[in-house]
Structure 1
Amino acid sequence: MAAGGFPDHCTTINLPTGLTYTCVHYLKPSKSSKRTILFLHGFPSSSYDWHHQIKHFADKGYGVIAPDLLGYGGTTSPTSLEPYKLKNMSDDIMAILKHCGVDVDGGKKVHVVGHDFGAIFMSTLIAYYPQIALTCAFLAVPYTPPGRKLDLDAMKVLTERELGFEFFGYRRFLMRDDSWKLMDEHKESFFTLIYGPEEGMIKHFLPAGELEAWLKADRKVPLLDWVTPEYKETRDRIFSKEGAYRGPTDWYRARFREFLGIDEEMEDIGPNPKLPCPTMFMQSADSKMMAKEWTERTKLFADDYEYADVKGGKGHWVQLEAPAEVNRALEDFLERHAS
């Protein structure tokens, strides 16, 4: 299981819905005044992608909750798409917090940190449950207001104009029912593309048709310097099971093909909900995968907003590529909003 990176702090949580989540859980010391941090990973990751942050903040006296999200690692991978509605997974997170002893309904708020699709998920989670968030931090992907359907044709035109390349075309492949099979058959090829140079992502992952062509050719590139043998071995183990990519790609089928829950979000939450707490957006300004206009989007929805440029990072995986800088910036932010 992914949470196996922290075997002494791995817990299995059986929810009333019948789903089972694996989770890294550090209780904060009884004398610590610090809050708990909820870490939400993205695609195609697991709780282990927070290992630098988990250890750092647990050692500092914070509580830590880092689940393998639905379909990932040791967590249940449902065969239907309904459980992947962001509202349903938000309910799962509320149950996980309760299981871990965080009484959010009793006023015990947490710091929420999300990366990639975890940042998109966090946007909906704290819109439905604003009472849980003392702060929120978006890594690499900005706030995404709930209730919006993405038009891939329109986004192709927009991103080619603003970035110089198509950004969301890869979703056309991931949304297909058979995408996970090709990823399973070419795991090493997929791994090196995702964790290789950003230029490869821009050319061979993001535009429509390119990811499928890359996998079918079983192409590979050298990994980035931060990808240690230990990291690769652990991640390979996490994704070694047959069908390991079905659950992760079900997020895309549910959200961007079937639009599950999006109309309900608009009805329940309304358009453009404001963020309920102090907010940070963190990225590497050196990354070519984010337009300046996008980085500024989050502050339009936050009354208390700040931006952090991760100087030691150059790409999408900031918490892995530049952990010391990310931890420093995040810790400073949390300390200034401790209560």
Structure 2
Amino acid sequence: MSDQQSAKTDGITHRFVETNGIRMHIAEQGEGPLVVLLHGFPESWYSWRHQLPALAAAGYHAVAPDLRGYGQTDRPEAVEKYSQLHLVGDVIGLLDALGEEQAVLVAHDFGTSVAWNAALLRPDRVRGVVALSVPYLPRGPVSALTGLTQALGPGFYMNYLQEPGVAEAELERDPRAALLRFFNWGFGDSPRADGPTLPVVPEGGDLSDLMPEPAELPAWLTEADLEFYTAEYARTGFSGGLNWWRTIDLSWELTAPFQGAPMTPPALYVHGDRDGSVSLPGMDQLIANLSYLVPNLKRTVVLPGVGHWTQQERPEEVNAELVKFLADL
């Protein structure tokens, strides 16, 4: 697809924009105030397939980019090009490319780090934040990687992702099976979506020890959905997304000047009660104190029976919460 071309499917238009020195692919639908949708791992713009038409119907210009390292967007080779400062710069540059002063940022999984940091660093450009799954994690005395490793030991799964090439070798042997394991492991109906299973890779093991391949697809994921994700990752590999994890310590170092800076934009936090990410050590205290950390938090919504893939597992309920929050701004 060339810069001049756009592909249109089910009302969703695709094109490319230049931002922060990279070429970014975006999917968009609708007209009105701008809402930017930031995906997580291992996902893409497609994770917002249920939200784009709903937001457009509600009178908004919904834009879902493939973020740096993913999908049809550029994938710089150097790991240090994936810091939170780079990722926030991509989003601010996207607003510039779209000719917009401000946007509401809606984010899921690792995309929430970008949304919260954009709100922290450029509150003049962020009208509001909706975080799905992961709450605001203010900068602490050590990085999140260090803190969770101290709590869970060296087998904490993020450590397995750190060495370039190791996780890639496992995941790229069979992208379809790898993606299905991820999606099933975090699914609300999966026995491993919550409970005593900790995200720790056994010594000498790999991610498949954490995430066994299921016999069938989760109810929220169709064969066509899985085929789309598989085709993307078979083409791009997993390094771009994994590099986000590899800059956790670097981003912690780079954001030192913003330690204790206020989080001012209005916010909404939505998570499933079976999302394993909210059961990590210390998360219960963070969520309990979220209104103190985010003074303009409008509300926290807990979706019963929902796992990690919030907006894909329960799109109607998430869409209703999004539209309500946007209308109240």
Q: Tell me if TM exceeds 0.5.
A: yes
Instruction: Name whichever of 149-158 and 320-329 sits farther off.
Output: 149-158
**Higher percent of residues as helix:** 1
Instruction: Name whichever of 208-217 and 180-189 sits farther off.
Output: 208-217
Aligned pairs for 1:1-339 within 5 A: 6=9, 9-15=13-19, 17=21, 19-26=22-29, 28=31, 34-102=32-100, 104=101, 109-146=102-139, 149-150=142-143, 152=145, 154-156=147-149, 158=151, 169-178=156-165, 179-198=167-186, 199-200=191-192, 206-209=199-202, 212-215=205-208, 219-221=212-214, 222-241=216-235, 243-255=236-248, 259-267=249-257, 269=258, 271-291=259-279, 292-305=284-297, 306-311=299-304, 313-337=305-329
Letter in 2 for 1:263: E
- Give how far 1:183 is off: 0.8
**What 5-or-longer segments of structure 1 have no aligned partner?**
29-33, 161-165
- Give how far 1:22 is off: 0.5
- Give how far 1:210 is off: 7.8
CA–CA separation in structure 2 for the residues paired with 1:197 and 1:263: 31
Deviations 1:170-191 (A, max 9, x none): 1011111122122111323322
TM-score relative to the length of structure 2: 0.85
CA–CA separation in structure 2 for the residues paired with 1:45 and 1:70: 12
Deviations 1:79-133 (A, max 9, x none): 102321111221121111111121x2xxxx2111111100012121221111111
Inter-CA distance 77–110: structure 2 relative to 1 (3 Å threshold): same
**What 5-or-longer segments of structure 2 have no aligned partner?**
none
TM-score relative to the length of structure 1: 0.82
- Give how far 1:197 is off: 4.5
For this pair of structures, how many residues does the alignment match? 312
Inter-CA distance 27–225: structure 2 relative to 1 (3 Å threshold): closer
CA–CA separation in structure 2 for the residues paired with 1:153 and 1:136: 26
- Give how far 1:226 is off: 0.8
Any conservation in 1 of the 2:171–2:178 contact (CA below 8 Å)?
yes
Any conservation in 1 of the 2:14–2:28 contact (CA below 8 Å)?
yes
Inter-CA distance 315–149: structure 2 relative to 1 (3 Å threshold): same
Letter in 2 for 1:136: V
Any conservation in 2 of the 1:14–1:21 contact (CA below 8 Å)?
yes
Any conservation in 2 of the 1:182–1:216 contact (CA below 8 Å)?
no
Any conservation in 2 of the 1:193–1:201 contact (CA below 8 Å)?
no
The DSSP-based 3-state class of the residue aligned with 1:20 is strand
CA–CA separation in structure 2 for the residues paired with 1:324 and 1:53: 9
The DSSP-based 3-state class of the residue aligned with 2:192 is helix
- Give how far 1:249 is off: 0.5
Any conservation in 1 of the 2:29–2:62 contact (CA below 8 Å)?
yes
Letter in 2 for 1:170: Y
Deviations 1:127-177 (A, max 9, x none): 11111111111100011224764365642564x6xxxxx898110111111
Aligned-pair identity in percent equals: 21
Any conservation in 2 of the 1:282–1:308 contact (CA below 8 Å)?
yes
Any conservation in 2 of the 1:146–1:262 contact (CA below 8 Å)?
yes
The DSSP-based 3-state class of the residue aligned with 2:231 is helix
Letter in 2 for 1:177: P
CA–CA separation in structure 2 for the residues paired with 1:92 and 1:59: 27
Inter-CA distance 335–16: structure 2 relative to 1 (3 Å threshold): closer
- Give how far 1:282 is off: 0.3
The DSSP-based 3-state class of the residue aligned with 1:130 is coil
CA–CA separation in structure 2 for the residues paired with 1:206 and 1:217: 7
Any conservation in 2 of the 1:37–1:63 contact (CA below 8 Å)?
yes
- Give how far 1:209 is off: 3.7
Letter in 2 for 1:13: V
Inter-CA distance 211–294: structure 2 relative to 1 (3 Å threshold): farther
Any conservation in 2 of the 1:112–1:133 contact (CA below 8 Å)?
yes
- Paired position in structure 2 for 1:163: none
Deviations 1:277-308 (A, max 9, x none): 11111011243541432322432222222111
Letter in 2 for 1:303: P
